[in-house]
Amino acid sequence: DIQMTQSPSTLSASVGDRVTITCRASQSITNWLAWYQQKPGKAPKLLIYKASSLQSGVPSRFSGSGSGTEFTLTISSLQPDDFATYYCQHYNSYWWTFGQGTKVEIK
Amino acid sequence: QVQLMESGGGLVKPGGSLRLSCAASGFTFSDYYMNWIRQTPGKGLEWVSYISSRGNTIFYADSVKGRFTISRDNAKKSLYLQMNSLRVDDTAVYYCAREFRGSSSDWGQGILVTVSS
């Protein structure tokens, strides 16, 4: 089974900071990777699909990159609404595997 | 707009059964693959099951295979998850999710299933 490992687990940042979260796969997954944002008590919200495609309606400060085994989610200028937990997710035909999450906290 | 609404959760004893439902609206339900995904504080997000648009292709995570059954009724625009032989570690918030290019653009609000004696 492919394992997805996110880093860091927690990130402290300030409004306006550039933030980068990394997701590493235990083997190559080409570009079948998505990123979600989740706030307490809410369902995950899709930000990025197929590694770098911005989901409709998501602000352009969010971007995704990478292929193979290493992927990144970047928030170019952190906004107050962005403090949340972020998850990566790999798609393998029908099987989904999630990373363990990265909590972005206020510094 | 797309809406997915789960129901049927609650408290059940180990070994018991529950049937979750997910009512869909705002899109052509019969055109989409659907998934059940669950979330626990300890294990995070876990994919549970997948069903194709016509219901003829189904997959399960190893952790639920043989105990859970996914199904759908396209006429009723509804997705189901029959959960039998429930265990304490099945305790989670369960989400139904519409598949979109290897991910999910739409999730329900989630429904809590608690397995406890």
Could you report the per-residue pLDDT of B53-104, keeping only the tens digit for each? 999 999 999 999 999 999 999 999 999 999 999 999 999 999 999 998 889 9
Q: Mean pLDDT throughout A37-41?
A: 95
Mean pLDDT, rounded, for A26-32: 90
Scanning every residue of chain A, which has its alpha carbon at the shortest distance from the alpha carbon of B45?
A: A98
Is the pLDDT confidence value at B42 over 80? no
At B43 the pLDDT is 76
Average pLDDT over residues A3-31: 95
Distance CA A24, CA B6 (A): 32
**Residues of chain A that touch chain B, judged by Cβ-Cβ distance less than 8 Å:** 32, 34, 36, 42-46, 49-50, 53, 55, 87, 89, 91, 94-101
How much is the average pLDDT of A82-101? 92
- The pLDDT of residue B89 is 95
| Residues A34, A89 contacting (CB under 8 angstroms) | yes
Mean pLDDT of B112-117: 97
